[in-house]
Amino acid sequence: MTSGDGPHSLRRLIDAIVTVGSDLDLPAMLQRIIEAAVDLVDAEHGALGVLDDTRTRLAQFITVGIDEEGRRKIGNLPEGHGILGLLILDAKPLRLPDLTQHPDSYGFPPHHPPMRSFLGVPIRLRDEVFGNLYLTDKRSGEHFTTVDEELVSGLATAAGVAIENARLHTRLHELGLAEDRERIARDLHDTVIQRLFATGMSLQGAARLVTSDPDAAVARIEGAVDDLDLTVKHIRTAIFGLEQTRRPDDGLRNRVLSLARESAGPLGFDPRVLLDGPVDTAVDERTGTELLATLREALSNVARHARASRVEVAVIVDDALTLRVVDDGVGPPAEGAPRGHGLVNMAARAGRLDGTFTMREGEGGGTVVEWRVPLRPGPRA
């Protein structure tokens, strides 16, 4: 990226992120994504390859930089051999100064334009690769940079948000449940759109750093990518809640969502819920029961004491099981003040499972309750 186009490129990325939900037609959305990627890093050519159901070949190949006549002369679209196949086999960003010198280079068919420098970035949906962004030849003649890679990675994450969002709306219309459409649309607006706007503002700050402090700009972009990843998790939770409305079961995920819905009456509003990781398969019955009891107690405490207007619940499974309940109320009891039975009970439940329980003031006020216990050996998804 040249010194003059850094702010412009970041503004293009911001535009792509903020307009994530503006077009729910998937083919049009995919075309917009690859066009934004080309503009983002000033590439001559770009393509978005969509994987087939086997995740081993390209089923679609959407291009920018080659006109209809050029595509007709080239013939069949690529299926994922050579350099394109590297991202299918190993789904991580790839930068090459000269793709023709790579040992896996497959060569070009007749009438294909010459290409040298290369940048490829995967687009992920849930835990699978949906497709790949392929970009070649910066118009400036320079090679693709680390900043270019981070920018396109940010766009790829935003693309995952857009595609998840389109699929969610499709499912809403298929189910035809007006009440659920309204509830999930509200959750998407309050949680997802606001988070995307905040990410865009963060990237605006990064634009000012591109020329003066490239390392700081890269760090800012990486943080934005992490924020977008969290946004995708919120969308997944909304999709899961919709599916469980149609096909309820007794899994822990569904019980957490049901408990959150029950608490809306005492709270006066719906808590926001984030579920991340193999919640249903990695948590045994005893641990799940203790988690639900702790969540019920935490939400009850908020309703009775916090005078809060917002509550966020997160249940996260990684190397342990974490329950986090965050509110924007009056904050935790003063140090040394007597604590009620609810806090004692939550700490005791964590202790019985060799875990920990903490309560602290949030960064912007309110209270953060965190309950974390180790996972017992068992099946995982």
Q: Tell me, yes or no, whether 122 lies in a domain.
A: yes
122 close to 87: Cβ distance less than 8 angstroms: yes
Q: Tokens 């992120």 belong to which residue?
A: 17
Please indicate, yes or no, if residue 380 is contained in any of the structural domains: no
Contacts 24+ apart (CB under 8 A), 144-148: 144/41, 144/95, 144/117, 144/118, 144/119, 145/1, 146/214, 146/218, 147/1, 147/6, 147/210, 147/214, 147/217, 147/218, 147/221, 148/1, 148/40, 148/41, 148/95, 148/119
The stretches in the chain having pLDDT less than 50 are 1-4, 20-21, 246-248, 378-381
- Are 154 and 21 in the same domain? yes
Phi first, then psi, for residue 43 (nearest 5°) are: -90, 150
- Residue in this structure with the two tokens 């077009």, named with its chain if needed: 23
Give the distance between the most distant pair of CA atoms in the chain: 80
- What does the pLDDT look like over 141-192, one tens digit per residue? 889 999 889 889 888 888 887 787 777 666 666 655 555 555 555 555 555 6
Do 109 and 17 share a structural domain?
yes
The whole model's pTM is what?
0.52
**Are 270 and 367 contained in the same domain?**
yes
Percent of the chain topping pLDDT 90: 29
Alpha carbons within 13 A on the beta-carbon side of 27: 2
Domain that holds residue 266: 250-374
What is residue 302's DSSP assignment?
I
240, 274, 304: which is the final residue of a domain?
240
Overall number of domains in the chain: 2
Strands (E), 25-86: 43-51, 58-64
Predicted confidence (pLDDT) per residue in 314-333, tens digit = 999 988 999 999 999 999 98
CA distance 148 to 146: 5
